[in-house]
Amino acid sequence: MSTSVKRALRYTLAAAVCAAFGLIYEHFSFGVWSVFMGFAFLIPLLLGALPALLTRREPTEIAAQLYGGFVLTLTLGSLVRGALDIYGTTNGKLIAYPILAGGMLLAAVLRESKPLAR
């Protein structure tokens, strides 16, 4: 089994865990629902498993780890935002999740790019 297929399976498993967590959390939330909690499973599925299956070449290990951190940070941020929505509150520090995720994505892209010819 290739590395990209293994990576796609890990992202699919993460999506299933997020979906189960969201369903259980919302079951015990007295009928309150959050789009961030309900659809958090789509992040590892669409940004993780799908690109892993569609890429033609394997990324370097560090670029793959940084990209995984990007997907994980967005997913956790969505789950935290969903929990806060269900609780009925907000937090200004939630902006840190997309900022950190963007930094990891940028680092992954820069790490994967080829150095300039001299």
Q: How do residues 42-88 score in pLDDT, each as one tens digit?
A: 999 999 999 999 988 888 899 999 999 999 999 999 999 999 999 98
Model pLDDT, residue 115 = 62
On the question of pLDDT at 96 being above 90, the answer is: yes
Q: What is the pLDDT of residue 42?
A: 97
**51 is in which domain, residue-wise?**
3-112
Is 55 a member of any domain?
yes
Decide: 22 and 59 in contact? Cβ < 8 Å. Answer: no
| 106 part of a folded domain | yes
Q: Is residue 16 part of a domain?
A: yes
Say how many C-beta atoms besides its own lie within 10 A of residue 32's C-beta.
11
Reduced to 3 states, what is the DSSP secondary structure of residue 108?
Answer: helix
Report pTM. 0.90
CB count in 10 Å sphere of residue 77:
21
pLDDT value, residue 55? 85
Residue 117 falls inside a structural domain? no
Residue 118 lies in a domain: no
* Count of the separate structural domains present in the chain: 1
Instruction: Give the separation between CA 66 and CA 104, rounded to whole angstroms.
Output: 6
Tokens of 29: 């939330």
* C-beta of residue 77 within 8 angstroms of C-beta of residue 104: no
